[in-house]
Amino acid sequence: MDDELITERRRVAFPQVFGYLRYVTGGLVRHAALVDCLTDYCRRHELALCGVFTDRDATVAIRSSAFIGLVDTLELPDTYGAVVPAVSHLGPRGIGTEQKRQIAATGTRLIVVRSLKPTTESAPSRGTSPNFQPQGDT
């Protein structure tokens, strides 16, 4: 008989996600609270928060440097998706819609911590377990 450990006893890495914040007003305490929100959500849902990209510029742009960094990391192998505290962090309607499209184009998920709907919309799977469904939506 094979002595290899069965699947349930093997180490399984948590799905890797990257946070994104549009943070213009407030101090460092507010920024820390937003990061803590993402960290706590990921911990509770067994996601590995690998980094948080933050836009601090008051001008709203579709391709800000922080958002470009997020999209670049979403294209890395084994990346599960992006997590935001609320959909408003993606920007106003037109810009937010385009940023959602760009995230979906990477083949990863957009997870919204505080959403109006209790479901998650997803992009095509990149080898993730079909049984893994975090709370949130796009």
* Residue 90 DSSP one-character state: G
CATH number at residue 42: 3.40.50.1390
Residue 125 amino acid letter: S
When pLDDT is cut at 50, 70 and 90, the band that residue 128 belongs to is very low
119 found inside a domain: no
pTM of the model: 0.72
Is residue 7 pLDDT above 70, yes or no? no
Question: How do beta strands 109-112 and 16-22 pair?
Answer: unpaired
118 found inside a domain: no
Kindly report, residue by residue over 27-78, the tens digit of the pLDDT.
888 899 999 999 999 999 999 999 999 988 766 666 788 999 999 999 999 8
127 found inside a domain: no
126 found inside a domain: no
131 found inside a domain: no
Is residue 21 pLDDT above 90, yes or no? yes
Segment among 5-19, 84-98, 122-136 with least mean pLDDT: 122-136
128 found inside a domain: no
Is residue 120 pLDDT above 70, yes or no? no
Please, which residues have CB within 8 angstroms of residue 3's CB and are 6 or more apart in sequence? none
* Kind plus residue range of the DSSP H or E element containing 10: none
DSSP 3-state assignment of 34?
helix
Q: Which domain holds residue 45?
A: 14-112
The end-to-end CA distance of the chain, in Å, is 47
DSSP E strand stretches across 12-101: 16-22, 48-55, 79-84
Provide the number of structural domains found in the chain.
Answer: 1
Residue 40 amino acid letter: D
